[in-house]
Amino acid sequence: MGITYNFKRSVNSYKYSNIKIKVGFYSSLISFSEQTVEWNSDTSAYLVGQRENFNIINPEVQLEMLKRIKKFSYELAKKKGKILYVNEAANCKFDGIVKFLSYKAGQNFVVGRWPCGLITKNKSLDVSCILLFNPSKSKFPIKEGNKLGLPIISLNNLGMSISKTMYPIICNNIEGNSAFFSVLLLSHSILEGNLFEFTKKHLKTF
């Protein structure tokens, strides 16, 4: 996947008349937010411009956010912490992604309507962190998570506030590709952390 850009010949060079550069999966899918006119005041700093009414998110900022959640999820997995993947009914088209990636990473998930008191009253459910696909539609998970002091990772578009979650990822959470890439990176980090601890425990070389 990617977008191919054609660069015209440089004034000081005639050797390469037409250079094609294929932008990778991350740059082509994550940098464009949903088509909208309005954005939240605390996310406007991450907007670098618009093209054909689509907001263009600063990829450097996104990269730093992804690095943070990658490191966090990796360290959490090493400590055997559990991340609860949450996708409320408003985003039912992501249910398959949530189920697949949470199962792949060995984590629990909730799709559809959030059961009241799921983590505050159910002590048997092991939750160290919450991952939200749409924080604007997930008020109750945020409320219960904050009550327990749990870190919250969220996929935010430019119209959402990032002040209520500890690890926001500004991306296009309307289309599946952008959300899938972000959560895939997080899930792989969990697997890496689990593999590190397993190897350390079973191999004498560590």
Of residues 5 and 75, more confidently modeled: 75
In a domain, 168, yes or no: yes
What pLDDT is attached to residue 28? 44
Number of C-beta neighbours around residue 111 at 10 A: 20
Average pLDDT, the chain: 77
Gap between the Cα atoms of 32 and 21, Å rounded: 18
What pLDDT is attached to residue 142? 93
What pLDDT, in 10s, does the model give residues 40-54?
656 666 777 666 666
Gap between the Cα atoms of 139 and 204, Å rounded: 47
In a domain, 144, yes or no: yes
The contacts of residue 21 (CB under 8 Å, 6+ apart) are 4, 5, 7
In a domain, 131, yes or no: yes
Rounded to 10 deg, the angle between the 59-78 and 176-202 helix axes is 30
Gap between the Cα atoms of 32 and 177, Å rounded: 11
Number of C-beta neighbours around residue 88 at 10 A: 22
What pLDDT, in 10s, does the model give residues 83-135?
999 998 666 788 888 999 999 999 999 998 899 999 999 888 999 999 999 88
Contact 156, 185 (CB under 8 A): no
For strands 47-51 and 54-57, give the pairing.
antiparallel
In a domain, 106, yes or no: yes
In a domain, 197, yes or no: yes
Tally of structural domains, the chain: 1
Q: How confident is the model at residue 18 (pLDDT cuts 50, 70, 90)?
A: very low
* Residues 39-73: b if buried by 16+ CB within 10 A, e if exposed: bbeebeebbeeeeeeebebeeeebeebbeebbebb
CATH number at residue 93: 3.40.50.10490
In a domain, 132, yes or no: yes
Read off the amino acid at residue 135.
Answer: P
What pLDDT, in 10s, does the model give residues 175-191?
667 778 889 999 999 99
Rounded to 10 deg, the angle between the 176-202 and 95-105 helix axes is 10
Answer whether residue 152 shows pLDDT above 70: yes
Range of the domain at 178: 59-202
In a domain, 191, yes or no: yes
In a domain, 53, yes or no: no
What pLDDT, in 10s, does the model give residues 56-67?
777 778 788 889
pLDDT-wise least confident of 7-21, 161-175, 184-198: 7-21
